[in-house]
Copies of this chain bind each other. A is one copy, B any other.
Amino acid sequence: MNYYGSPVMRLIEEFARLPGVGTKSASRMAFYILNSPDEKANALAGAILDAKKSAQYCKHCYNLTDKEVCYICDSSRRDDTTVMVVESPQDMAAYEKTKEYSGLYHILHGAISPMNGISPANLRIKELLARLDSDSPITEIIIATNPNIEGEATAMYLSKLLKPLGVKITRIAHGVPVGGDLEHVDPITLLRALQHRREL
Contacts and interface: CB of A to CB of B under 8 A. Distances in A.
Interface of A is mostly: helix
Interface string A73-99: 000000000000000111011001100
Interface in A8-44: 8, 10-11, 13-15, 17-21, 24-25, 27-34, 38, 40-44
Given A4-B65, A70-B5, A11 B48 contact: yes
A7 B40 contact: no
Contacts of A89: 3-4, 31
Contacts of A183: 24
Contacts of A139: none
Contact of A71 (B2, B7, B11, B50): B2
A52 B41 contact: yes
A20 B28 contact: yes
Contact of A19 (B29, B45, B50): B29
Interface residues of A, number: 61
B17 A55 contact: no
B49 A41 contact: yes
Interface of A: 1-8, 10-11, 13-15, 17-21, 24-25, 27-34, 38, 40-55, 63-67, 70-71, 88-90, 92-93, 96-97, 183-184
Given A7-B55, A8-B55, A15-B44, 10 more contacts: A3-B89, A4-B93, A5-B66, A5-B67, A7-B50, A8-B64, A18-B32, A24-B183, A34-B55, A34-B64
18 contacts: A3-B92, A3-B93, A4-B65, A4-B89, A5-B65, A6-B66, A7-B51, A8-B64, A10-B47, A11-B48, A13-B47, A19-B28, A19-B29, A31-B90, A33-B51, A45-B45, A45-B48, A48-B48
